[in-house]
A and B are shown apart, each in its own frame.
Chain A
Amino acid sequence: MRLDWSVVWQNAPALAEGTLLTVVLTVVTMLIAVPAGIVLAMMRLSGLRLLSGASAAYVEFFRNLPLILVVYWAYYVMPVAVGVQLSGFVTGLVALCLNVSAYNSETFRAGIGSIRKGQTEAALALGMSRWQVMREIVLPQAARRVLPVLASTWVSLFKDTSLVSVIAVGELAYTAMRIRSQTFRVLEMLTAMAAIYWALGYPQAKLVDWLHRKFPVSE
């Protein structure tokens, strides 16, 4: 079998564009899913039945469905539900956000729950409102504590964005597969794709390790 790597270089611009879209998807998903996760976690911990019930239902629903199913689901259901045909990018983004928000919610819930009750009491004793206590005392400490977990989620998400290729979003996986089917250079394109994911994923994973060491779970 002869390998012809020139196909990779010839399609470098397309692959670069795909890679960029993968990064954009990851970043934008996280930018939405982190605040959404905080809101869901606070709803869950609010003590108000309706809010915490809604949050729990959401989280358990999306956390326990395969992401690829949510992607298809968004693709077919969203146009009907919203009444407009959304682009593949937006559809894919919605599906990723639905999934990652659910995970982030659980991460933040655990983080908030890990802050000692005495911290809240000390802040309340100063005369702070519940919201001020959350904003000034609990969330900043919880955020620090969940940072390594969020970073792990980030690395998973970076790879999971490849799933939106099934609805023709032109990110890295889709682009590589498209070139493969056009040129029939299967092994070269899969290898190139693997190399790019790995080269970008590895430093991120190392960053996570570093965060785990920098912010160990401790009192």
Chain B
Amino acid sequence: MSAPPVLTYREVRKLFGSFVALGGVSMQVERGQVMCLIGPSGSGKSTLLRCTNGLETIDGGEILLDGVALARDERGLRDMRRRMGMVFQNFELFPHRTVLANVALGPRIVLRMDEAAARERAEALLEKVGLADKAGGYPANLSGGQQQRVAIARALAMEPEVMLFDEPTSALDPETIGEVLTVMKRLAEEGMTMIVVTHEMTFARRVADWVVVFERGLILEQGPPAQIFEAPHVERTREFLSHLGWEG
């Protein structure tokens, strides 16, 4: 018997008032898989990510982490969030803490690691994202790309089973996008399970194992990147990609 998928979505529905953000989405994420969610703005891909770690509650269907339905109660939800790292579009580093403290905060507060161990883990992760020399500085003194790399290190500090990236490069200057994507690519190569909401088609084409195209709260098409980018089965996928200037 094979292990259950890390994440399973069954007919997930989410409403904002009368607006259907997710109209019944089913998909699954296997261990070690890098999945890119693409599609026009407002198509539900970010909402799906936010529902995954309970920042939004779903209105129908279910989401399973390692075969277990996502908890609804505060404590259960907290236990599941520890196992998922989240990276936000606007970084959301804690401006009143140093870079090192930002990364060490989760282990210290949530995992209750002692100061020295948390610090050691944070230093190692900053090294990994190439920012060991910025450990003592404050987020405000970093470039956008550097802040996002710290945010990735902060999420990794919880040693999550899966990383959720919500448009991680959308708020960045073009010249710093590359350094963030490089870190993400390295993470993918190390076997991290990742779900990435992105408009970076080159990244999706090269790094993803599986691409899911969203439109109006539904999955338009999903498949390996070669299919989505070279020979989409659905005409709307081709149209969406050509709007972005993707020539195939």
Chain A contact residues, CB within 8 Å of chain B:
116, 118-119, 121-130, 132, 136-137, 140-141, 144
Closest to B107 in A: A126
A127 touches B105 (CB 8 A): no
Do residues A126 and B81 form an inter-chain contact, with CB atoms below 8 A?
yes
Q: Smallest CB–CB gap between B75 and chain A, Å?
A: 8
In the complex, whether B173 has a CB less than 8 A from a CB of chain A is no
Seen from chain B, the residues whose Cβ lies within 8 Å of a Cβ on chain A are 53, 55, 74, 78-79, 81-82, 84-86, 88, 90, 92-96, 105-106, 109-110, 151, 154-155, 158
Given contacts A129-B74, A130-B74, contact A121 B82 (CB under 8 A): no
Nearest CB of B to A123, in Å: 8
Main SS of the interface on chain A? helix
- Give complex CA distance A141, B93 in Å: 12
Task: Tell me the smallest distance from the CB of B56 to a CB of chain A, in Å.
Answer: 10
A132 cross-chain contacts in B, Cβ below 8 A: 109-110
CA distance A17 to B110 in the complex (A): 50
A122 pairs with B92, CB closer than 8 A: yes
The answer to whether B90 touches A128 (Cβ under 8 A) is no
Query: Which residues from chain B contact A119 at a C-beta distance below 8 Å?
Result: 92, 94
Q: Which residues of B contact A129 (CB under 8 A)?
A: 74, 78
Docked-complex contact B53 and A125, CB < 8 angstroms: yes
User: B105 touching A126 by the CB < 8 A rule?
Assistant: yes
A132 to B81, CA, bound (A): 14
Docked complex Cα distance between A140 and B95 (Å): 10
Q: Is the CB of A118 within 8 A of B92?
A: yes
Indicate if the CB atoms of A126 and B110 lie closer than 8 Å: yes
Q: Note all chain B residues with C-beta closer than 8 A to A126.
A: 81-82, 105-106, 109-110, 154-155, 158
What residues of chain B lie closer than 8 Å to A124, measured between beta carbons?
A: 55, 81
**Residue of B whose beta carbon sits closest to that of A127:** B82
Q: List 22 A-B contacts (CB under 8 A).
A: A118-B90, A121-B55, A121-B92, A122-B88, A122-B93, A122-B94, A123-B94, A124-B81, A125-B84, A125-B85, A125-B86, A126-B105, A126-B110, A126-B158, A127-B79, A127-B110, A128-B106, A129-B74, A136-B94, A140-B96, A141-B96, A144-B96
Complex formed: what's the CA distance from A82 to B74 in Å?
41
B16: min CB distance to chain A, Å: 15
